[in-house]
Amino acid sequence: MRPARAIGFAAAAALTLAASCLLLAPGAGAHDARRPVSAHAASVLNVRDEGHLRFVHASGSAILDEGAVSGTVPGSVRVRFVYDGAPDVSAQFTITAHGGSISARGTGVLSSPTSASPSFRGRLSVTGGSGRYAHIHGGGELYGVYNRRSYGLTVQAIAKLSY
């Protein structure tokens, strides 16, 4: 994690400098000046996670799957996958990892819809987090395979996240 720490140190320095500039800026009002300033060192995660998820339940065109995820942020993941007939599929998921959770939303395009296991690929963006990932943000790519027989999902996320 040395590169991540280095980036984190640079980001913290930049934040401190930015905060100082804001406080010293002539235009900064008294109200702004009285507001407590908080800063934290940003860390960067180059995430490469994969999960093999099993079907939990469905509600119409939405399928809920969950399972273990391995990779940069290991833990468990719960995915709500929506496929309504359009090639554009969407997924909302939460990875619960050690020390916190990461929630994200992904959209992708499904190919070969009449095959038993169509694949999809698209983008994901982080929508929130908790614990050590409370300030997480960023996005990346989402790949997956949807098993039309078992309703199971295999998903892979490759993302660059800051927290």
Contact residues for other proteins, defined by CB under 8 A: 57-63, 83-87, 109-116, 148-149, 151
Tell me the residue type at 91: A
Q: Which is nearer to other proteins, 89 or 159 (CB)?
A: 89
Q: Evaluate whether 80 touches 96 at the Cβ level (below 8 Å).
A: no
Question: From the CB of 124, what's the least distance to other proteins, in Å?
Answer: 20
Q: How far is the CB of 56 from other proteins (least distance, A)?
A: 12
- Between 38 and 59, name the residue whose CB sits nearer to other proteins: 59
Tokens found for residue 145? 């395979």
Give the N- to C-terminal CA distance of the chain in Å, as an integer: 14
Please, which residue, 74 or 87, has the CB nearer to other proteins? 87
Contact 100, 107 (CB under 8 A): no
- Angle formed at CA 133 by CA 128 and CA 134, multiple of 5 degrees: 60
Tell me the closest approach of the beta carbon of residue 88 to other proteins, in angstroms. 8
